[in-house]
Amino acid sequence: QYKGPSFKKMADIRKSCLNPVLTTYYSKPLAVHQGHKQWLFDLDGKRYLDMFGGICTVSVGHSHPRISEAVNEQIRTLGHCSNVYYHPKIHEYAEKLASKLPDKLKVIYFVNSGSEANDLAVLLARSFTGKHNIVSFQNCYHGMTYQTMALTSNGYYKYPVMQNPGFFKTMNPDVYKGIWGGSHCREGPVQADRSCSCKIAECEAGQNYLNQFQEELKYEFPANGIAGIFAESIQGVGGVVQYPTNYIKGVYATVKASGGVFVSDEVQTGFGRTGDHFWGFESHDIEPDIVTMAKGIGNGFPLAAVATTAEVAQSLTKATHFNTFGGNPISSIVGLTVLNIIEEENLQENSKKVGTHLLLELEKLKEHSANVGDVRGQGLMIGVELVSDKATRAPLESSKFMTLWENCLEMGVILGKGGLHGNVLRIKPPMCITKEDADFTVEVLQLALNQL
Ligand code: PMP
């Protein structure tokens, strides 16, 4: 039974005391007060299937009892403790997290948010290489601190103030909307395991984008090259954008050859979400120099991290890098427990199994719907791009998208929204969802599409 402030009272407090552009997704904002596994409950007790999991934040399920117990126990023993002392949990956690990464990435910095992690990654890239310029992809999202706002490429999140210097964008290798997208392998037959069916040599789009990137490096940074490039393994906020096969591998090789570092932003794609691998970058067959992580790492707790090599970390010993809350005993026990739950509840395998089933069911929906232009993703990181015309791929009108989206909510399914035109349904549920939840989602989406 909910006993807190009324909806009206919360609306009033928002108006007077909170950030005036705090996004509330729905026209009548959804007010939730309880979560359990893959479900959220509103003030009246109505249950929703949370297929957005707070944007990949809730990885192992809402209010997981093992996390609550671990936090309780830790808070009773030792709560906050600055890292100027030894305390056991940060050590246990760092060792466990490092064991999940490639051997060369053994040094972990703990921070509190994805933006902070990317901010630190910028510093690491610049200190290590002695260079300044950083490249990221159009349509990317890497955070909202002053520096990461310049790294991010989405007008919705960019204020009209002078942006931090030294950040450049390269063309987004979007296989659905990009200029060379037509020849991408994903146009080929969909396989049951969602693997690519093309032969590398035929993947023209990837090569075209890579040529373009290499030319850009040559002409834009002839003297000094770049400090590094940032890439999400699959773009999240940008609308679940996947890149052509081998494109990232080519970019990685190019950047390394020019003396820069490769930074993988695993804030959304890490921790088993993509199913095939624990980290999204593994699908691109690369080993980045720096990996940033947040969201799913703490199942909703403010925890984030940066992993890098001993050599890169050495470059940050010229001054002291300090973070008051980073890796405190409570966040460390949360992170450690999340890793144990992912392993013991086989959540990566579940992402693969349920995610693949969901992708294939959505693909069937696409065949029969005039408005489903593209279904893409990997594991439980899925995007459904809604269009008004399949031939031109023009985005579905915003009013229609909103109607469909709100109708899904009304029927009990929470979906995310993203993409530059806000016309991509983002499906990123807690990794504990079942096949039945996936089927229910498709059924609801089908009904909502029919209602259009
Ligand atoms: N990187 C990516 C890929 C993200 O999706 C986000 C958040 N949407 C961030 C970084 C920033 O994380 P935070 O909001 O925790 O600062």
Q: Does the beta carbon of 105 lie inside 6 Å of ligand 1?
A: no
**How many percent of the chain have pLDDT more than 70?**
95
pLDDT in tens, 349-360: 999 999 999 999
Ligand 1 atom having least distance to the Cα of 269: 3
Ligand 1 atom having least distance to the Cα of 113: 15
Whole-complex ipTM? 0.99
Say whether pLDDT at 184 is over 50. no
Say whether pLDDT at 133 is over 80. yes
| Residue 441 pLDDT | 98
Say whether pLDDT at 185 is over 80. no
pLDDT in tens, 258-272: 999 999 999 999 999
| Residue 181 pLDDT | 65
Q: What is the mean pLDDT of residues 275-302?
A: 96
Contact yes or no for 418/426 (Cβ under 8 A): yes
d(CA 147, CA 356): 37
Say whether pLDDT at 196 is over 70. no
Give the Å distance between the CA of 40 and the centre of ligand 1. 22
Q: What is the mean pLDDT of residues 334-343?
A: 98
Task: For residue 195, name the pLDDT band (cuts at 50, 70, 90).
Answer: very low
Ligand 1 atom having least distance to the Cα of 140: 3
Q: What is the mean pLDDT of residues 366-386?
A: 94
Task: For residue 188, name the pLDDT band (cuts at 50, 70, 90).
Answer: very low
Beta strand segments in 319-390, E: 372-378, 381-389
Phi, psi of 356 (to 5 degrees): -65, -40
Q: Provide CB contacts within 8 A for 216, sequence distance 6+.
A: 170
End-to-end alpha carbon distance in the chain: 36
Task: For residue 11, name the pLDDT band (cuts at 50, 70, 90).
Answer: very high
Mutate to test the pocket of ligand 1, among 56, 113, 115 (most ligand atoms within 8 A of CB): 115
Q: Does the beta carbon of 267 lie inside 6 Å of ligand 1?
A: yes
Q: Whose CA is nearest to atom 14 of ligand 1?
A: 114
What does the DSSP assignment read for 378-436? ETTEEEEEEEEETTTTEEPPHHHHHHHHHHHHHTTEE-EEESTTS-EEEE---TT--HH
Q: CB count, 10 Å around CB of 375?
A: 24
pLDDT in tens, 147-166: 999 999 999 999 999 999 99
Q: List Cα–Cα distances, 394 to 49, 252, 400, 405, 448, in angstroms.
A: 29, 32, 13, 18, 20
Q: What is the CA radius of gyration of the chain?
A: 22
Q: Which residue has better confidence, 31 or 194?
A: 31
Say whether pLDDT at 201 is over 90. no
| Residue 203 pLDDT | 64
d(CA 451, CA 231): 38
Give the Å distance between the CA of 114 and the centre of ligand 1. 5
Say whether pLDDT at 245 is over 50. yes
- What is the Cα 96 distance to its own chain's centre? 22
Give the Å distance between the CA of 156 and the centre of ligand 1. 14
d(CA 319, CA 209): 39
Say whether pLDDT at 197 is over 70. no
Say whether pLDDT at 85 is over 50. yes
Q: Does the beta carbon of 294 lie inside 6 Å of ligand 1?
A: yes
Say whether pLDDT at 302 is over 80. yes
Say whether pLDDT at 182 is over 50. no
